[in-house]
Structure 1
């Protein structure tokens, strides 16, 4: 049986998954996904409590030391990399955008989503596990809360720049509403992606289509 190093007790944060640009990065991404896939398969088959770091290591043929080079705990492997924070450059581009706020926000969120080349099967298994394990789903919602607040504040800043008479409170409410609409569209996109008939549906094309559909709904005839 593998012996977990003390880092597990420390609750180390899961490694973020940057956009792969070189051989080393791609190898790391492949290994990360192999471990995530093994963890999800075990949790779906045996349950969250019965899934351990040892069993994940055995299933993905790695040592515990290697596991903790990538993840801080079994929950980290099940949840995957945390959402990347918006960069200052991304915020600047959004604030200077001249499209509709909702469409520009969807484009911004799509850029961050596609940067990590999402894996459909991992996405599907994770959605299924969240439906079975409310505690794990709650942990995911907690992880994304900070990014949600920053996105809403960024939208609010753009709205107030366009309409200085808009109060900070009202702008923030509209920022949260805009973010909620965008995320609902992406949730629908995720359902369509995982239900696609083809083996490897083009997620980028689905994102473009989702943005186009939202545009038709929000701005009919535009």
Structure 2
């Protein structure tokens, strides 16, 4: 997998506090990836991750609920990006499903932890099936974070409920993650989400 490290927010745009928080989160993810790749998920403890990263257990739990979340690089949804603002204001195409597709692609392509870490997470998840279940559970747990974004997009007179649109967004994100994982991290997020949407259209019109 040859994915270039990328971040949705440029370093100069972040304050010192946020840069330190991001660096600490990335250090924890990198330490977790190294240890899990070497020893396997079950053999790695939170204590070992903290020792590897040079932080306390308290600091670890300020960033992640479980070691599985650290492997997957779970971070808050990037809801302050240009892509989310464009979606909320009716873009980029005006077609809801197409715009959900673009939003999912932006979530995965411009992930706060960078595409290289996403690729490593996918590689490790392929060897540890329970991580995929945790990924789905985490998305459901944080579905509320998407509500305001969806409601901004739909407005007061929308023909769809925000719950259905939010669930569709979560489904597309998870299905794309699974498809990308099955491909061993090869290809781009946009390619995989496009394939998922094409499959969904076929199912609904069959």
Alignment of 1:109 with 2:108, yes or no, is no
Aligned equivalent of 1:99, options 94, 99, 113: 94
**Cα deviation code 1:92-131 (max 9, x no counterpart):** 9547445222322233334545665342332122112211
Q: Determine which of 32, 41, 44 is the counterpart of 2:37.
A: 44
The superposition leaves residues 24-71 of structure 1 with CA deviations (integer Å, 9 ceiling, x where unpaired) of 211211121111111122112211111011211222222334333333
How many Å separate the matches in 1 of 2:173 and 2:68? Answer: 27
Q: Which has the larger radius of gyration?
A: 1
Q: For structure 2, which runs of at least 5 residues remain unmatched after alignment?
A: 1-7, 202-206
Matched, 1:141 2:133: no
- Aligned partner of 1:78 in structure 2 is 71
Preserved CA contact (<8 Å) 1:43 1:51: yes
| 1:39–1:56 contact (8 Å) kept in structure 2 | yes
Please give the TM-score of this superposition, normalised by the length of structure 1. 0.56
Does residue 35 (structure 1) correspond to residue 56 (structure 2)? The answer is: no
Quote the RMSD (CA, aligned, Å).
4.6
Partner of 1:128: 123
Task: Determine the C-alpha separation between the residues in 1 that align with 2:127 and 2:190.
Answer: 31
- CA deviation map 1:174-201 (0-9, x unaligned): 98668756765677678999547xxxxx
Aligned residues: 184
Tell me which stretches of 4 or more aligned residues in structure 1 moved more than 4 Å. 90-93, 110-116, 146-151, 174-196, 206-215
Q: CA deviation at 1:140?
A: 0.9
User: In 2 relative to 1, CA 207–70 (structure 1 residues): closer, same or farther, beyond 3 Å?
Assistant: closer
- Deviation string for 1:136-189 (max 9, x for gaps)? 2211111113567968xx59x95xx67x5x8x7xx94x9866875676567767
- Residue segments in structure 1 that go unaligned for 5+ positions in a row: 1-17, 197-205
In 1, Cα distance between equivalents of 2:44 and 2:97: 40
Matches of 1:75 and 1:57, distance apart in 2: 14
